[in-house]
Amino acid sequence: MRKSVLTGLALMGAMALGITGCSSSSGGDGSADGDGTVTVGFAQTGSESGWRSANTESMKAAFSTENGYDLVFNAADNDPAAQIAAVRDFINQGVDAIVIAPIVEDGWDDVLQEASDAGIPVILEDRTVSASDDLYYSWVGLDFEREGTYAGEWAVEQFDGTPTKMVVLEGTTGSAPANDRATGFDDAIAGSTIEKIDSQTGEFTRDGGKTVMEGFLQKYGVDGIDLLYAHNDDMALGAIEAIEAAGGVPGEDIQIISIDAVKDGLQALIDGKINYVVECNPLLGELAADLVTQALAGDTAEKAIYVDDETFTAEEAAAVIDQRAY
């Protein structure tokens, strides 16, 4: 099992028990409501996948009433304009801090500047933005490009030297994980005998993965595709349904690489329907809460904090699936 470099987590450890102790006041000036409660607005992408659901639950648990928070939650159903409007509403409400999982990278400059002008610290989690990093306090998440690299390296180990026709199920167009997972994978397979014959977004959803894979199969047939690279498990699981409906055997006729390592994805790996899975840990709530604490205390933090990832074969998945929290 291979692990990525873990950067900056030691920085967070000292704050792990300090969540309820921050003093803050409503209105984004770094102080709290009169009862000491810290109001945090959380702008989530939506509920498009098992990974996203686990991420949401992690955030809700960390920003709970018991931990001294009043969480104002919004899920934008993968609509970037709706998500920006939600953040603007948080600003107008005068929350103490804002946490965002940005749907796409671009288009954030204006609303982040508005939050900065209002004195409300912004923490990004999971995904990143293209705006200047002085417009937000910090980001915590995974190294999406490294995830793509791990997936591509495994593909080269398995297929290089054999002409291989590959299709790709991309994540949401313009999102950081879709962009970076494509870059990491493409760089890793450069110069190999793996040929990408088609690539299309499945929007990180199971239905999207199934629909796009059905189109690939109609175009190329089961025999015309050797390898599928899916940017997340939910799309891979949808693709499995499409392959089986077309009379193919997923994991054999078409080998599958996926990213996320949610339980359903690991079970498909154990069952031989997926061949290799790269983890993307969704449990970012406590780390995001630690960053809110630091921001409201006026402390400094690293701009980018990377969380550990692992990779799984079927045997490795079988050893851990019963203990998985997501």
Write out pLDDT tens, residues 277-317. 999 999 999 999 999 999 999 999 999 999 988 999 999 99
**Counted domains in the chain:** 2
- Say whether pLDDT at 4 is over 70: no
Task: Point out which residues pair with 102 in neighbouring strands.
Answer: none
Do 100 and 215 lie in a common domain?
Answer: no
Do 148 and 134 lie in a common domain?
Answer: no
What distance in Å separates the CA atoms of residue 321 and residue 312, rounded to the nearest whole number? 11
Has residue 92 been placed in a domain?
yes
What distance in Å separates the CA atoms of residue 92 and residue 77, rounded to the nearest whole number? 21
78: helix, coil or strand? coil
Do 86 and 163 lie in a common domain?
Answer: no
- Say whether pLDDT at 28 is over 70: no
Range of the domain at 158: 144-279
Do 38 and 72 lie in a common domain?
Answer: yes
Residue 212 is which amino acid?
V
The CATH number of whichever domain residue 217 belongs to comes to 3.40.50.2300
Has residue 2 been placed in a domain?
no
pLDDT of residue 43: 98
Q: 83: part of which helix (H) or strand (E)?
A: helix 80-93
Has residue 162 been placed in a domain?
yes
- CB within 8 Å of 319: residues ≥ 6 apart: none
Has residue 88 been placed in a domain?
yes
6 pLDDT band (50/70/90 cuts)?
very low
36 pLDDT band (50/70/90 cuts)?
confident
Has residue 20 been placed in a domain?
yes
> For all residues of the chain together, what is the average pLDDT?
91
Do 250 and 292 lie in a common domain?
Answer: no
Tokens of 138: 């910090």
Q: Of 279, 300, 321, which one is at a domain's C-terminal end? A: 279
Has residue 321 been placed in a domain?
no
Contact 200, 228 (CB under 8 A): no
Has residue 148 been placed in a domain?
yes
Do 179 and 200 lie in a common domain?
Answer: yes
Per the document, the length of the chain is 326
Q: At what angle do helices 50-62 and 263-270 cross, to 10 degrees?
A: 140
Do 239 and 121 lie in a common domain?
Answer: no
26 pLDDT band (50/70/90 cuts)?
very low
What distance in Å separates the CA atoms of residue 158 and residue 143, rounded to the nearest whole number? 23
Do 291 and 271 lie in a common domain?
Answer: no
What percent of the chain is predicted at pLDDT more than 70?
89
For range 32-42, the mean pLDDT:
83
For range 52-81, the mean pLDDT:
97
Return the higher-pLDDT residue of 275 and 8.
275
Do 151 and 186 lie in a common domain?
Answer: yes
Beta strand segments in the chain, E: 38-44, 69-75, 97-100, 122-125, 138-141, 164-170, 194-201, 227-230, 255-260, 276-279, 304-306, 311-312
For range 169-178, the mean pLDDT:
96
pLDDT of residue 325: 85
Do 269 and 156 lie in a common domain?
Answer: yes
Do 148 and 235 lie in a common domain?
Answer: yes
Do 153 and 129 lie in a common domain?
Answer: no
pLDDT of residue 29: 44
Has residue 1 been placed in a domain?
no
